[in-house]
Amino acid sequence: MYYLYIATGLTLLISFIGNRGKTFKAVKIAFKKLVKIFPAFLTMLILVSIVLFLVPDKTISNYLGNNGKFIGVILASFFGSITLMPGFIAFPLCGILFKKGVGYMILSAFTTTLMMVGILTYPIEKEYFGVKVSIIRNTISFFIAIIVALSIGFFFGELL
């Protein structure tokens, strides 16, 4: 996380040395944009807090661990699509699940949909891309995630 602060600070400093006026303008633009999209972020945070309550890690572990591999992939991609969690929670969770015997194919279906399909980020996405394109993009992403999972299954010898 620190590299983000360092990078932002350095860029800001260089910009400030280069041109004060432009730098103030940039900060102003940043603030305006943030305010504009804030309601969508608030909606997303509220949805995230409720969904994570309804579908906690434990539930996800249970469903991914206790079913056949193909049902597992379907359930995993469902949970990956409807939830949102940062990598530092998701990958350790997958590490634990793997040790419990959940296969790579199921885990990749979960992580890839988690990354690519954003039902919870939809309130933000539709502000920029509109309803129709957001739905198209998420649908395509879902299928890409399934293809990725099947490929992982194939290369790790779990498919057959």
Partner 1 sequence: MKLQNKYIKALAIIIYFVFIIGSFVIGFKPGKQIGHNFITFSMEMLKILPCAFILIGLFEVWVKKESIEKHLGKGSGMLGYIWVIILAGTTVGGLYVAFPVAYSLFKKGAKLAVIFTYIGASAICRIPMTIFESSFMGIKFSLIRLIVSVPLVILSSIWLGNYLEKKSYRIMEGK
Stretches 57-65, 70-78, 114-122: which one binds partner 1 (CB under 8 A)? Answer: 114-122
- The tokens describing 76, both together, are 């995993």
Instruction: In the chain, count H helices and then E strands.
Output: 7, 0
Who contacts 69 (Cβ-Cβ below 8 Å, separation ≥6)?
Answer: 103, 105, 106, 153, 158
Residue 159 gets which letter from DSSP?
Answer: -
53-112: contacts with partner 1 (CB under 8 A)? 53, 84, 86-88, 91-92, 94-95, 98, 104, 107-108, 111-112
- Residues 1-20 close enough to bind partner 1 by CB under 8 A: 1, 4-5, 7-8, 11-12, 15
Please pick, from the candidates 22, 62, 65, 100, the single residue that binds partner 1 as defined by CB under 8 A.
Answer: 22
Supply the minimum distance, in Å, between the C-beta of residue 74 and partner 1.
19
Contact status: 28 vs partner 1 (CB under 8 A): yes
| Beta-carbon count within 10 A of 143 CB | 12
Please identify, among the stretches 63-71, 73-81, 136-144, the one whose residues bind partner 1 according to the rule CB under 8 A.
136-144
Angle, alpha carbons 129-135-139 (nearest 5°): 130
Give, to the nearest 10 degrees, the angle between helix 20-54 and helix 2-18. 160
Copy the structure tokens of residue 61: 């572990």
Of the pair 23, 67, the CB lying nearest partner 1 is at 23
Q: Which of residues 115-134 bind partner 1 (CB under 8 A)?
A: 115-116, 118, 121, 124-125, 127-130, 133
Q: Residues in contact with partner 1, total (CB under 8 A)?
A: 71
Kindly state the smallest distance separating residue 66's Cβ from partner 1, in Å: 21
| CA 124/CA 48 separation, integer angstroms | 13
Fill in the amino acid letter for 102: V
Min dist CB 71 to partner 1, Å, is 21
